Amino acid sequence: MNGEPVVRVENLHLWFGMLHVIRNVSLEVAPQEVVVLIGRSGAGKSTLLRCLNFLEQPSSGSITIDGLRVDIPMGQQPDSRRVRDLRLKTGMVFQEFNLFPHMTALENVIEGLVTVKGMSRDEAIPIGEINLARVGLSDKRDEHPIRLSGGQKQRVAIARALAMEPKVMLFDEPTSALDPELIGEVLSVMKQLAYEGMTMIVVSHEMSFTREVADRVIYMDQGEFIEEGPPDKIFGEASDPRTRQFLERVF
Amino acid sequence: MAVETMTQPGATDQADPYLSMGQELLALDRQRRNIQRLKVSGVWVALVIILAGGLLQLRIEPGYIIEHAGIVLAGVEWTILVSLVSITFATIIALFGALGRLSNNSIAQGISGFYISVIRGTPLLIQIYIIYLGLPQIGQAFGQLGIPLLSSLLTLSAFQSGVLALSINYGAYMTEIFRAGLQSIPHGQREAALAIGMTRGQMLRRVILPQAIRVIIPDIGNQFIAMQKDSALVSIMGLWEVTFRASRFARRDSKFMEMFILAAAIYWVLTIISSWLQEILERRMRHAYER
């Protein structure tokens, strides 16, 4: 893991009114690295993730992804074209899937290629099919989301993000909305992605997944990084009492 | 609805020895509902008979109604034409009005907010007068200033005035319907669209509108039904639609009750037919994305 980091966050702040939700966070993620953010709800994990593609507008700081730097001068709107370019370098998977219900699985996957990247449908369809195959859903290509199980929906959502060839995948609690028996299929797709060398930032409570796949675990509390390290270290011998307390309660 | 889905094949357990019990209950339930419906219809028929009987007692001439039914009924064409054209324009206005209301652009927000406030704050009848009688006056002024084009542009026919007034008026009310429809789409849809790099416009066109339209279309149907009746106001400009025809004969022969009851009945039937069509449309919209 060397070379330029794929993601670099510098001195990021986010305020919701008088709530300081993200407190001066800096983060670098190397190519092919898998970072898992853990922490109690309200700690700012999802918010931080959503700042990376500006679904949440940070209050100040800077975000660089794959060499494209977007500065947020305090209290100002960043350039919207740059924000859009930055979003194209990220793929996001949501807790609630957020598939487009009026499109089939395949149409969901190729939507960005056609509308955003300007490909013709004929060009986009093979790419869509490849990505549906990657998540094991080739046979569902013509189904609307309403006909898919939660696990299948989430896998289509992953395929939709992958089709855009992002430099980093952001997973926002991708299994939290799933029935227990459907979690495995989503996690195994994510594992496979990690082994293929995808750079990933994951907000997750899945202990065994984190142990197996994460290169680095970051424990967050009150909008700050409290402790970070390889999973063995964090889960085995966390040095900060807050981290230990959290891990005891959750796992 | 929920009861009917249970009768679908495969939905019930074939091995259940009490299967007939479920079917019996279902049949009983259906019977009860049919009887109720029959009774309600009976009350309707009774009310119509009482009303008609009462009117006949009061020297209403059914012969006059029958004699003039055809010619008044011919006005339905205009009523429907005015309503159809107006609802089309109103829908377009409402779409832009709603986009303006929801946009971050202060000019668009200001224009749409002002438009809605003025139109909803004034009577439709006054709006019709202003367009039909007021605008030509301004047009004349322009004509005297040597701008004949503007003069003729501002002098509208009865049909054009009616359509313009109804479109602008309903456009304002429907803006709120569109706004609510656009806002009813879950926030996650917006985020998913933005996350794959869409612009605001692409998001609206590809993700939000196609979903919102299913919510909005049944409401457009309701507005169309209401508009058919408001189109009666167009009669003041002498357009040969139902109300104008009815009132003409009513005044000429002093057959007010005869003619206005006839007109009322025509609108009523129109509404019943439109409601029925609207219900079909609504049912189809509800079963979205299931094919």
Using CA atoms, how far apart are residues B137 and B146, in angstroms rounded to an integer?
14
> Which amino acid is residue A98, in one-letter code?
N
Nearest CA of chain A to the CA of B177: how many Å? 21
Which DSSP letter does residue B129 get? H
Name every chain B residue with its beta carbon within 8 A of the beta carbon of A90. Answer: 195
Q: Indicate whether B290 pLDDT > 80.
A: no
Pick A164's closest partner by Cβ from B197, B210, B211.
B197
Burial A215-231 (b: 16+ CB within 10 A, else e): bbbbbbbebebbbbbeb
Label residue A180 exposed, middle or buried (CB < 10 Å: 0-12, 13-18, 19+).
exposed
Whether B181 contacts B215, CB under 8 Å: yes
Reduced 3-state DSSP string for A64-102 = EECCEEEEECCCCCCCHHHHHHHHHCEEEECCCCCCCCC
H/E stretch holding A228 reads strand A224-229
Q: Which of A100, A97, A185 is nearest to A143 (CA)?
A: A100
Share of chain A above pLDDT 70, in %: 98
B191 Cβ under 8 Å from any chain A Cβ? yes
- Left if phi > 0, otherwise alpha if psi is -120 to 50, otherwise beta: which for A33? beta
Pick A146's closest partner by Cβ from B192, B193, B290.
B290
A100 Cβ under 8 Å from any chain B Cβ? yes
Quote the mean pLDDT of chain B: 89
Helix, strand, coil shares of chain A, percent, nearest 5, are 40, 25, 35
Which DSSP letter does residue A214 get? -
Which token pair is B125? 């009848």
In three-state secondary structure terms, B75 is coil
Distances (CA, A) of A232 to A32, A237, A244, B89: 19, 8, 13, 66
Nearest CA of chain A to the CA of B208: how many Å? 9
CA atoms within 13 A on the CB side of B142: 14
Lowest mean pLDDT among A81-85, A144-148, B235-239: B235-239
Q: Starting at the edge strand that comes first in sequence, how are the strands of the sheet with A199-203 ordered?
A: A90-93, A168-172, A199-203, A34-38, A216-221, A224-229
CA angle in degrees (0–180, nearest 5) for A209-A155-A126: 130
- Left if phi > 0, otherwise alpha if psi is -120 to 50, otherwise beta: which for B186? beta
Which token pair is B69? 């039914």
Residue B152, number of CB atoms within 10 A of its CB: 13
Q: pLDDT (tens digit, 9 = 90+) per residue, B159-193?
A: 999 999 999 999 999 999 999 999 999 999 999 99
Q: Which residues, other chains included, contact B135 with Cβ-Cβ below 8 Å and sequence gap of 6+? A: B154, B155, B156, B161
Lowest mean pLDDT among A112-126, A195-209, B8-22: B8-22
Tokens 């009860």: give the residue: B32
Q: pLDDT (tens digit, 9 = 90+) per residue, A185-244?
A: 999 999 999 999 999 999 998 888 999 999 999 999 999 999 999 999 999 888 899 999
Using CA atoms, how far apart are residues B245 and B263, in angstroms rounded to an integer?
9
Q: pLDDT grade, residue B4 (50/70/90)?
A: very low
Q: pLDDT (tens digit, 9 = 90+) per residue, B116-135?
A: 999 999 999 999 999 999 99
Which token pair is B236? 């003041």
**What is the ipTM for the molecules in this complex?**
0.94
Which token pair is B271? 């509404």
Predicted confidence at residue B182, as pLDDT, reads: 94
Label residue B27 exposed, middle or buried (CB < 10 Å: 0-12, 13-18, 19+).
exposed
Q: Do B189 and A87 touch (CB under 8 A)?
A: no
Name every chain A residue with its beta carbon within 8 A of the beta carbon of B192. Answer: 92, 94, 98-100, 157
The neighbouring-strand residues paired with A172 are A203
Nearest CA of chain A to the CA of B285: how many Å? 12
Which token pair is A244? 């230990």
A88 Cβ under 8 Å from any chain B Cβ? yes
B153 Cβ under 8 Å from any chain A Cβ? no
Whether B197 contacts B203, CB under 8 Å: no
Q: How many CB pairs under 8 A join A and B?
A: 64
CA angle in degrees (0–180, nearest 5) for B208-B209-B215: 100
What backbone phi and psi angles, to 5 degrees, belong to A20?
-90, 95
Q: pLDDT grade, residue A1 (50/70/90)?
A: very low
Which token pair is B258? 């005869």
**Pairing outcome for strands A199-203 and A34-38:** parallel
Using CA atoms, how far apart are residues A103 and A145, in angstroms rounded to an integer?
8
